[in-house]
C-alpha cells in the first residue's frame, strides 16, 4: 500500500499514513495480496495459509 499519487507523497508532511486516521490519499487496495494468498492456497501440499503479521481491519474494510 502506498500513496495514490507520487506528487502528493513527496510533498506530504504527515509522519504516518495510518495514525491517527487513515490518510484519504492512501491506496488501500489489497487485491494483489489477496491474489497471493489464493495462489498459495492452490499449491499442492499446502493445508493452511497463516498470516503472522496481523491484520489492520480499519484499513482492510476500505479495500475495494
pLDDT one-digit tens code per residue, 18-50: 888 889 998 888 888 889 988 998 999 988 888
From residue 63, how far is each of 4, 21, 31, 33, 60 by CA, in Å? 13, 16, 8, 11, 5
User: With a threshold of 0.75, does the pTM exceed it?
Assistant: no
- List helix spans (H) across 1-64: 6-11, 31-42, 57-60
Amino acid at each position: 500500500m502506498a500513496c495514490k499519487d507520487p506528487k502528493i507523497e513527496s510533498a506530504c508532511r504527515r509522519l504516518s499514513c495510518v495514525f491517527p486516521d487513515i490518510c484519504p490519499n492512501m491506496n488501500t487496495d489489497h487485491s494483489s495480496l489477496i491474489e497471493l494468498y489464493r495462489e498459495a492456497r492452490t499449491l499442492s501440499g499446502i493445508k493452511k495459509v497463516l498470516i503472522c503479521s496481523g491484520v489492520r481491519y480499519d484499513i482492510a474494510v476500505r479495500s475495494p
